Structure 1
Amino acid sequence: MLVRGCGLRGIPTKLPAIRLLPRWYKRFYSENNNSTVLSDDDTLHKNELPLVLIKKAEEYSKEFIDLEKRLTKGENFNVDDQKRFAKCSSVAETLKTYEESLSELRELEEMINMDPSLKDDAAKEIAIKTPRFNELSSSLLGKLLPVHPFADKPCLVELRPGVGGIEAMIFAQDLASMYMNYAHIHRWKHHIISQQVNESGSGILSAVISIDQPGAYDRLRLEAGVHRVQRIPATETKGRTHTSTAAVVVLPQLGDDSEKTADAYERTFKPDEIRIDFKRASGKGGQHVNTTDSAVRLTHFPSGIVISMQDERSQHKNKAKAFTLLRARLAEKEQQEKEAAGIAARKEQVNSTDRSDKIRTYNYPQNRITDHRCGFTIHDIPGVMAGDKLDDIIDATRTYDTEQKAKNLIVD
């Protein structure tokens, strides 16, 4: 059962009302709390959080009391103190409601054991209150999980073909259309920053899409990885199914692609850190191609990142777009390095476009899409590619990601 809600600034979410956490979660609770855990056949399982997570929530509650005392004494709070106060307050309030709801359910369960004549009435009350309790459990867990530092940012979606030649280029173009359709359905502002089309006219060599909705990065960041397609290409004469791949990279957008912003960001680099080369744009020809030095190539020496941009006729506009992309890649690289330093850091972006690194398969003959991280499968390729059903896959991967982070919280 999924209950639709509304996320950050209009970003759609689905809050799992029942069974957010899988079997490992139930086993952990049973082993550590001496509680009877219902089987998978039970439709209303009470998702109590493990004691170790409740203790973490109680620590936030104690910190909230201390911060509240400081506030009543008239102490000045800086920005960090204010953020911490808001987080602790939210956790404390949710924990209180969670414990009250859990207490009510336990009383009803005891009522059934003590007075069988009240079993039917108590069971009805349990059926009504359990979904609400599970929503509180999910909410409290979400508040305990660390928030991604770029969660509230817009994003850049970068696509490039992998293994498979022309078919891989066509698939990369299909994915680009899917994400633009998704943005259009949710009424998010978006535009193409850069797109290099294959000379034959079939598919793309690369594309970068800017999705300007705040919070879009958090919604789409788990789309990053190698996507694999299995289908019969239009050029296939013998009806054989081909396998191709395309890489998707999702980057946080930390600034716009205006020339003023780019100039300000350029000044943050030392002269020996970055090189800017200008050259004539390549292509089939035309009034502006190969006639002016409008193409820009940025080389950032410390990271080894190289960015080329030639979509605009203006050299200044190409330079601004190149710096926007550089800024996003450097921010993501820094965040990845921080995550890699952790005990259970998880690699979230693409290091190669090899088939073995796939996160998702689009099987056209079977009209099936399977995400290999969480095992979620949907039989509606047209609906997903049109953007209508993509939320179903995103919600499944986000739930899986929540489960993994909850494991890490318990281990830590």
Structure 2
Amino acid sequence: MLDQLEAIYHRFKNLEESLADPEVITDAEKFTKVNKEYGKLKPIADTYLEYKDLLDNIESSDAMRKDPDPEMREMAQLEYDELREQKEKMDEEIKIMLIPKDPEDERDVIMEIRSGTGGDEAAIFAGDLFDMYKRYFDSQGWKIEIIDENEGTAGGYSKLVFEVHGEDVYSGLKFESGTHRVQRVPKTESQGRVHTSAATVAVLAKMEAEDININKADLKIDTFRASGAGGQHVNKTESAIRITHLPTGIVSESQDGRSQHKNKEIAMAQLYRRIKEQQDAALAGEIASARKSLVGSGDRSEKIRTYNYPQNRVTDHRINLTLHSLDKIMAGGLEPIIEGLQVAENADKLKEGV
């Protein structure tokens, strides 16, 4: 474990030197990348220095336990025992810190909320879930963008798809996929009886711009003479560019620029956008195909979480966590549940020796 910490600390110091390198400072993209990694490693680097001091103090107090003076030995023993306790606690904390992060954790997400069993009440509950998530997003400084929405006939949504943008979004939301069950007296129920309804939530990590890796070997680039109005220069030279992305068959061309270089730049930008649109469409299809594995059929019996209004209770069935604070959770206070799920995930990884 100490070797891992030392390796990370050396990497941290190298990044620190890079941040003072004029070549890095003048390259905005490189500086942002280095600074981001530096910020992530800083807590581990600080912990490493603290841990080293602790080990040095343990060694010193251990040596003092051999002092000929009985009083000094007694004091040294007390200090030694206290330091050993601190070390055991730090050992556990460091193990958690060194668990490899899910590479998807930093991504933005596409979420889908859909009404399940329960008719109008299920759609209303889907709307309540969305309101709950919106309040949680606000507390995290995250932004949302609606992609598609179908409102329920009595309120809420039969289906709602949206993107969430921010820092470490997938890390906080990846456990929300599944069937959410509600037990309450529906607004549509005149007899005052408690009903059970359900809504499903699907969360998928969103592909970002840098994930689109276009291999130059996959591109077929043709030049041709621009057609139409544009003056003598455009018509007389083969400045227009057509680019074909062979794996997908997507074609992009530009003849608006006066130079071949500019047209190539424009065509590449268009090609990038079209590939991105195709991938976004594929991701939308993935939501549909992944629904069964992520959320099941939307039946009440397949619940991951139950929201019981009469008892002001929320239970996450995956980690057997019950909280009597439904009002706070529906107001966006999801932290206790999300943190509980993250702790459980880390515990599983430690058991597996990840």
Q: Which is worse superposed, 351-360 or 364-373?
A: 351-360
- Aligned residue type for 1:358: K
Question: Are the counterparts in 2 of residues 159 and 246 from structure 1 also a CA contact under 8 Å?
Answer: yes
Q: Does 1:402 align with 2:346?
A: yes
Question: Are the counterparts in 1 of residues 54 and 83 from structure 2 also a CA contact under 8 Å?
Answer: no
CA distance in 1, matches of 2:188, 2:199: 19
Question: Are the counterparts in 1 of residues 179 and 296 from structure 2 also a CA contact under 8 Å?
Answer: no
Say which SS state the counterpart of residue 195 (structure 1) adopts.
Answer: strand
Name the larger-Rg structure: 2
* 1:230/1:62 CA distance change after superposition, 3 Å: same
Among residues 165, 179, 184, which one is paired with 1:231 in the alignment? 184
Question: Corresponding residue for 2:199?
Answer: 246
Pairwise CA distance, 1:61: 5.0
Question: Are the counterparts in 2 of residues 101 and 133 from structure 1 also a CA contact under 8 Å?
Answer: no
* 1:167/1:156 CA distance change after superposition, 3 Å: same
Say which SS state the counterpart of residue 146 (structure 1) adopts.
Answer: coil
CA distance in 1, matches of 2:139, 2:42: 35
Question: Are the counterparts in 2 of residues 61 and 88 from structure 1 also a CA contact under 8 Å?
Answer: no
What are the superposed Cα offsets for residues 25-65 of structure 1, whole Å, 9 maximum, x if unpaired?
xxxxxxxxxxxxxxxxxxxxxxxxxxxxx4xx646757988
TM-score, structure 1 as length reference:
0.53
CA distance in 1, matches of 2:41, 2:142: 31
Question: Corresponding residue for 1:152?
Answer: 106
Question: Corresponding residue for 2:248?
Answer: 270
Say which SS state the counterpart of residue 189 (structure 2) adopts.
Answer: coil
CA distance in 1, matches of 2:147, 2:184: 29
Question: Are the counterparts in 2 of residues 193 and 321 from structure 1 also a CA contact under 8 Å?
Answer: no
Q: Does 1:359 align with 2:304?
A: yes
* 1:365/1:405 CA distance change after superposition, 3 Å: same
- Aligned residue type for 1:172: A
- Aligned residue type for 2:248: K
Question: Are the counterparts in 2 of residues 229 and 363 from structure 1 also a CA contact under 8 Å?
Answer: yes
CA distance in 1, matches of 2:197, 2:62: 54
Pairwise CA distance, 1:235: 2.3
Question: Corresponding residue for 2:92?
Answer: 137
Q: Does 1:190 align with 2:144?
A: yes
The percentage of counterpart residues that share the same residue type is 31
* 1:148/1:331 CA distance change after superposition, 3 Å: farther
Greater helix content: 2
Question: Corresponding residue for 2:256?
Answer: none
1:317-328 alignment, distance < 5 Å: 325-328=280-283
Question: Corresponding residue for 1:215?
Answer: 168
Question: Corresponding residue for 2:315?
Answer: 370
Say which SS state the counterpart of residue 326 (structure 1) adopts.
Answer: helix
Gaps of 5+ in 1: 1-53, 70-78, 257-265, 273-318, 337-346
CA distance in 1, matches of 2:100, 2:293: 16
Pairwise CA distance, 1:366: 0.5
Question: Are the counterparts in 2 of residues 161 and 246 from structure 1 also a CA contact under 8 Å?
Answer: yes
What are the superposed Cα offsets for residues 238-261 of structure 1, whole Å, 9 maximum, x if unpaired?
3322111111111222248xxxxx
CA distance in 2, matches of 1:98, 1:189: 38
Gaps of 5+ in 2: 15-29, 210-243, 251-273
* 1:406/1:330 CA distance change after superposition, 3 Å: farther
Say which SS state the counterpart of residue 89 (structure 2) adopts.
Answer: helix
- Aligned residue type for 2:127: Q
TM-score, structure 2 as length reference:
0.60
1:94-173 alignment, distance < 5 Å: 94=47, 97-98=50-51, 100-101=53-54, 104=57, 118=75, 122=79, 130=86, 134=89, 137-138=92-93, 140-173=94-127
Question: Corresponding residue for 2:294?
Answer: 349
* 1:236/1:119 CA distance change after superposition, 3 Å: farther
Say which SS state the counterpart of residue 295 (structure 2) adopts.
Answer: coil
Question: Are the counterparts in 2 of residues 230 and 241 from structure 1 also a CA contact under 8 Å?
Answer: yes
Question: Corresponding residue for 2:261?
Answer: none
* 1:228/1:119 CA distance change after superposition, 3 Å: farther
1:290-329 alignment, distance < 5 Å: 325-328=280-283
- Aligned residue type for 1:203: G
Aligned Cα root-mean-square deviation (Å)? 4.8
Question: Are the counterparts in 1 of residues 51 and 90 from structure 2 also a CA contact under 8 Å?
Answer: no
Among residues 382, 385, 392, which one is paired with 2:327 in the alignment? 382
